[in-house]
Chain A
């Protein structure tokens, strides 16, 4: 069995349903279609971790559009943080599936050929996925569904780029292509691992409750992705300047100085 701390196996009773990616201590993501009959809110699945211990898995959220499902893991004692490294994906990145069919088989691997394939869309939302070129033949990618794909680098820990999902319907890509949803897409799509906004009093409105300083982050609808201003009334040259200004701001060079992180005083 592979020992990658992100890799999990999901069972219903003793039936292996599929594989997944452990994202945090208490959350893992898998391909939704792996779960077959979608478990109820109270059905506990069995999740095997890389060290061969088991945890319970409770379906927390799912998204048909991205073929993702989020499991909340349960332990008797809080385990250590998983050694999990994630990163953004670039065109041409090499990838390797963490799961392989047997120890004697080669790993499924190749290069990322598309980073923004339109995987699914609705009126309000678009889900993008990776299209992966595979080295060597593979009879059935479904055998790898949910498996993390990672990018190896010399002298550094492997980073997980996403997880393998099913081929989108009506896709005209070559038959030997594989598809993966990025971790970035996962955190946007699934409640429980999505960024949320603290509830506070907005100056000048006189409305809203006081900030809750005790229980931490409150849930709220997904806030729009990072953007500086509306683009509709900008010319091309201004758009370019805006893109550069945004890029500088993203690099902490937008004209503001912020406090550096300081460790807590011992």
Chain B
């Protein structure tokens, strides 16, 4: 490849403050990786500037297989030495380069695509990771590459990260079949991953018989991995911790105190070894300590010193959460999971009235996509009940809006309850409906017609109700919708772990639906006082709102109430003539 600045010669001579070539940057990053822990006062700046200067145009030229591999290697190095954003930038650049280079011919082998998929997963981009790994898979199948089992196991792991349990299982089972053909003791990681994924699926689904089978298989693959890689390999420690934690859960679920205490002690030993051998900031130390904290919290429920033990477990998890934020990044999916668990445990030990008013994130209008993704993720992870208060609910009930409807369907398929409170179209907000110069002014006679002819009623309210009735027919008691005549101050979405609230700034019902984020939205966890208050508010609305049947039976009354409201507001009252010059009645 013809290397141009900053890829090659062309950088100003004598500029000792800049990296000139990709090789220079790789060499510097490799040095830092091998000297982990030593200070690097200026190196980070050099690498960051190099990444910033590198552009796709610098890679254009004769496609060269080695370039993509070097870039992927560089991206891995940057991630390993803590320059996460730089790593993601290089990964994006590498992917773009590979896609364009392969416009008319296949160049890069399955292993390179696999590496890129692994990097994207590491950065939390599970959707792109899946797509890239699928490309790797097709490549591996065509060439009968030895990476086939690894790619399949990676697909299973990334599907699990995306909470797609069915896909994860399918990929894991395919990986097992592939390993039957290409079994090799030189690649124990693939088997370890596969058995680990199957254990996690069984845990999530709380399938006790499957957990037992998966435990046996995972124990076997962990042992083999340790025989090949050694017990001090980070993955070995992680596997031991996962295995022991799963055994603890089985014992705790069956009230086997002896075994649960034994496995708890084993978890402590593993956590001690992780800290001492890998260091306090290593990812596997962090997750091992998270496992221990959670297990301790659970075990404490069974003894007389439970209060002190639980509080210590929460304190430990707080430290783990801080370490995860510092090491992995605040937004890393592992960090978010640790914080989610911490919120759950905090809420369990703190009386509701003592919980702080904590906001995890504030979304602004320009963060509409981020907000939507967070909600989808919350819906996907829910295992019990989803509660919603909204004006119209279009995002959740209308498939053509293409927002949360698929997640709701998947939740219902998982037998998750979905309880919804929506605004009645006949509440007093109808007087604020959108009008233009051609629209007749609202009065007692026409207000109901105006509502029934409105875009909101025809294109949102009625379709939402139709969708609800279809879903109710299919899912029965899992889903229930109620209508409230009271004004709703904002939309609230509550899952078991977290809540979202967006205030309505407008009283016009037409502007409260079918639009992006217009003001702001907050996200809070279950350990925030906002969560407790929101649940209480939902329960109140739920009790006061009408079921669909009740609403239908009393709809004429609601319409009349609306007419009465308009009458009270309007000067144009029926039967009264207003004479010119006459005094207005006081």
Contacts and interface: CB of A to CB of B under 8 A. Distances in A.
Interface of A: 23-26, 77-81, 83, 85-88, 90, 157, 159, 182-184, 186-187, 193-203, 210-217, 222-228, 243-244, 247-266
Given A216-B259, A226-B236, A260-B161, A85 B294 contact: no
A250 B234 contact: yes
Contacts of B157: 256-259
Contacts of B280: 85-88, 159
A77 B344 CA distance: 26
A77 B305 contact: yes
Contacts of A224: 230
A259 B266 CA distance: 21
Interface stretch (B51-59, B237-245, B354-362, B532-540): B237-245
B337 A252 contact: no
Contacts of A261: 242, 287, 290-291, 334, 337-338
Nearest to B303: A78
A259 B159 CA distance: 9
Contacts of A87: 275-276, 279-281
B452 interface: no
Contact of B219 (A25, A193, A213): A213
Interface stretch (B29-37, B394-402, B407-415): B29-37
B193 interface: yes
18 contacts: A85-B280, A88-B280, A193-B269, A195-B237, A197-B226, A199-B223, A211-B215, A213-B250, A224-B230, A226-B232, A227-B230, A247-B36, A255-B114, A256-B153, A257-B122, A259-B161, A260-B287, A265-B383
Given A24-B268, A195-B269, A250-B234, A77 B304 contact: yes
A80 B305 contact: yes
Interface string B327-341: 000000110011011
Interface in B69-83: 76-77, 79-80
A203 B224 contact: yes
B344 A263 contact: yes
B3 to A, nearest CB: 22
Interface stretch (B93-101, B309-317, B554-562): B309-317
Contacts of A157: 319
Interface residues on chain B, size class: 35 or more
A243 B34 contact: yes
A183 B263 contact: no
Contact of A200 (B223, B313, B496): B223
Nearest to B243: A198
Contacts of B261: 78
Contact of B259 (A195, A214, A225, A266): A214
* B interface: dominant SS: helix
Contact of B247 (A194, A213, A265): A213
A196 B226 CA distance: 10
B158 A263 contact: no
B240 A217 contact: yes
Interface string B355-373: 0000000000000000000
Given A87-B276, A194-B273, A253-B118, 16 more contacts: A26-B265, A78-B303, A81-B292, A81-B309, A81-B316, A184-B277, A195-B232, A198-B219, A224-B230, A251-B33, A251-B283, A253-B122, A257-B153, A260-B337, A261-B287, A262-B204
3 shortest A-B CB distances, which residue pairs?
A263-B341, A80-B312, A211-B219
Nearest to B292: A81
B89 interface: no
A79 B305 contact: yes
A197 B244 CA distance: 11
B268 to A, nearest CB: 4
B216 to A, nearest CB: 5
Interface string B411-448: 00000000000000000000000000000000000000
Given A80-B309, A198-B222, A248 B303 contact: no
B491 interface: no
B214 to A, nearest CB: 10
B383 A24 contact: no
B121 A78 contact: no
Contact of A257 (B154, B233, B303, B383): B154
Nearest to A192: B269
